[in-house]
Amino acid sequence: MNTRSNTAHRTRVYALILLAMIAAAGSAGAQTVRQITPAALASILAQPWATPASGSSKADVTSVEYFDYNCPVCRRIEPELRKLLANDPAVRVIHKDWPVFGEASVYAAYCSFAAAREGKYAQAHTALIESRQDLDTREDVRKVLQQAGFDLKRIDADISLHQKEYSAALTRNLREAGALGLRGTPGLIIGNQLVPGGLDYPQLARLVAQARTR
């Protein structure tokens, strides 16, 4: 089996494991708003390099988003998160890829990590999360990134070189989401509160304000 086939096989296996765990988590009950422990939060915020962030590095409130580029709710809340960042310079959002929608979502995450090594995470993230088409296949992902001006050969070379590291980052995010009891994307942590996804700007701003009083 050649390198590309091995890569595709590992990606498919990883995606299937993700989907199986999501299905199993579904029997654990409804996702609810709750506080997480300081130790759990500290572990989540201890970022490996492959956990990009937006906003101020000196923020007094940090939000963590577990997301999938194919998740329609994740796409819907992206403008709300950007509005929050634009209106509140003391907020940071940490992006945790949790690709629960299958192989193409895993590949999109890898591509975003590769773009981050170029210093172009924001461009790749914007292109993928704002795509008007579903990212059903690797070729869909590649088409979106190519249209955004990315050198696909460079992306491919980076993934080939660093895939083990990228896979480890996704595995870490998967474990965190499982430990938090998340059932699917998006999952948000604001301050020390774990909240269901699908929030709008006023809700986000209110939760940030609450976090500052704790």
Q: Which domains does the chain have, with CATH numbers?
A: 3-213 (3.40.30.10)
Residues 69 and 129: their CA atoms lie apart, in Å, by: 5
What share of the chain has pLDDT > 70, as a percent? 84
Query: 156 with 149: CB under 8 angstroms?
Result: no
Query: Tokens in use for 45?
Result: 């915020």
- What is the pLDDT at residue 137? 96
pLDDT of residue 49: 66
| Residue 29 confidence (pLDDT) | 38
Position 71 pLDDT exceeds 80: yes
pLDDT at 197 over 50: yes
pLDDT tens per residue, range 27-43: 333 446 789 888 998 98
Listed in sequence order, the residues at least 6 apart from 76 whose beta carbon sits closer than 8 Å to its beta carbon are 198
Q: Which stretch of 21-35, 86-100, 127-141, 197-211 has the lowest confidence by average pLDDT?
A: 21-35
In the block, residue with structure tokens 């994307």: 185
User: In sequence order, which residues have a C-beta less than 8 Å from that of residue 171 and are 6 or more positions away?
Assistant: none
Predicted confidence at residue 152, as pLDDT, reads 97
**pLDDT digit string, tens, across residues 90-135:** 999 999 999 999 999 999 999 999 999 999 999 999 999 999 888 9
Question: What pLDDT does 25 receive?
Answer: 41
Q: What is the 3-state secondary structure (H, E, C) of the chain?
A: CCHHHHHHHHHHHHHHHHHHHHHHHHHHCCCCCEECCHHHHHHHHCCCCCCCEEECCCCCEEEEEEECCCCHHHHHHHHHHHHHHHHCCCEEEEEEECCCCCHHHHHHHHHHHHHHHCCCHHHHHHHHHCCCCCCCCHHHHHHHHHHCCCCHHHHHHHHHHHHHHHHHHHHHHHHHHHHHCCCCCCEEEECCEEEECCCCHHHHHHHHHHHHHC
**Structure-model confidence comparison of residues 57 and 186, the more confident one:** 186
